[in-house]
Chain A
Amino acid sequence: MTLPFLASDAGAAGLGVALAVGVAFGWGLERAGLGNARRLAGQFFGTDFTVLKVLFSAIVTAMLGVFWLAQMGILDPARVYVPETWLLPQAVGGALFGVGMVAGGLCPGTSCVAAAAGRRDGLAVMGGMLAGILLFAAAFPLIDQLYEATPAGTLTFPDLLRVPPGTVVAAVVAMALGAFAGVEAFERRAALRPGGAS
């Protein structure tokens, strides 16, 4: 039997997975302190690197997991949904998102964590997100050209660069470890470690 083993994510099993995955995700985010908007925003002032550490640790872990499970024939990667690439909308949307993130101090997922932990600013961000989505829907006729621009379909780096997936995996690991080393060195020099929390 190859994984993924649930063909659809509807039904009791699929939604049970949703809940379990969500709880674990929220737990992990809160443990890392990303439910705290000041900590998250600190990333963009160079005072706190939790966002970078968590994001790249998670990416590397999942990426290595997918690669090796596929290598061993346990996981059929063709059956794992890869988000499609839309060059321009994702570049512009990403930039907008980044601005929103430093202004709001939370992203959609962490805003739920913050709100659940009692942070009223978490609720504010969640409310803003809903409003932003509705604004997008209302303004859609104005931006649908941008929205539909430059589709590239399912495009991964191995496809794009015409190199084996293992090469890209190795490069991402190297980049992540390099970034971690650089950040650790920077933190040591800036003495960013009052006792207790880091």
Chain B
Amino acid sequence: MSAIDFAAAAPARIAMPAPAVRARPYASPYLAGVGIGLVLLAAYVTVGHGLGASGGFTSVAVAGVAAVAPEQAAASPVLGGYLGGGGRGPLADWLVIELIGVALGGYLSARLAGRARRTVERGPRVTDRARLMYGFGGGVVMGLGAKLARGCTSGQALTGGALLSVGSWIFIATAFAAAFAAAPLFRREWT
């Protein structure tokens, strides 16, 4: 029984995804949040900086470009700094390893909760293919936004937010505001 059927049984306005029958329910978001906060704190006190994600993606992107067009990669003011020996060296590696951990942790948790399955999470009114295209497009825009802002929800909102950085809170505010404002455009995708 798929998640879609559950949602159809609920009032139409509530497009709330429910896990499949045999899966465990999600944990309390507050408890999970506190847990994540403690993880963030652990990072601060061990390595002196917080979490990140988009930086790790940049490293991967740079590695890809460097493999096919090394001169381009080195020449780019954006990508060049991520190449080995550049100014960002150690932190870039750290983020990649962290992201590998995120995937691993996500997999373990999903597996143990019976939530791991090959599927596409989408609203009932779009096809898998459309959802994947929205996903890709959304990713492109997030990639642009994250580079401009020097971070994403992990690096700016969480890490910078907890450290009371003004720019990070500006990021939180504009991200949430823009997401709420743009939501009607994507109603079809989700509801």
List the interface of chain A (C-beta within 8 A of B): 3-10, 14-15, 17-33, 35-39, 41-45, 47-50, 53-63, 65-66, 69, 75, 79-87, 89-109, 111-122, 124-137, 140, 143-144, 146-147, 152, 154-158, 160, 165, 168-169, 172, 180, 192, 194, 196-198
Contacts and interface: CB of A to CB of B under 8 A. Distances in A.
19 contacts: A9-B47, A15-B94, A33-B27, A35-B110, A56-B33, A59-B162, A96-B141, A101-B138, A103-B138, A103-B141, A111-B139, A125-B136, A128-B135, A129-B139, A132-B139, A132-B144, A143-B148, A192-B14, A196-B25
- Give the interface SS of chain B, mostly helix, strand, loop or mixed: helix
A83 to B, nearest CB: 4
Interface bin, chain B: 35 or more
Contacts of B174: 90-92, 94-95, 98
Given A45-B191, A115-B103, A81 B48 contact: yes
Contacts of A99: 138, 141, 145, 178-179, 182
B8 interface: no
A47 to B, nearest CB: 6
- Give the interface SS of chain A, mostly helix, strand, loop or mixed: helix
Contact of B182 (A15, A81, A98): A98
Interface string B95-126: 10111111111111111010111111111000
A137 B43 contact: no
Given A18-B101, A128-B135, A192-B16, A84 B150 contact: yes
Contact of B43 (A17, A30, A38, A168): A17
A157 B182 contact: no
Contact of B41 (A23, A56, A66): A66
B148 A147 contact: yes
Nearest to B128: A120
A129 B57 contact: yes
Contacts of B25: 196-198
Contacts of A158: 164
A100 B145 contact: yes
A104 B148 contact: no
B139 A134 contact: no
Contacts of B18: 194, 196-197
Interface centre among A112, A122, A168 (most CB of B within 10 A): A112
B167 A86 contact: yes
Given A25-B154, A89-B150, A107-B154, 17 more contacts: A9-B91, A25-B98, A27-B108, A39-B16, A53-B30, A59-B158, A62-B50, A65-B38, A85-B167, A104-B137, A105-B138, A107-B153, A112-B53, A117-B110, A129-B142, A131-B143, A192-B14
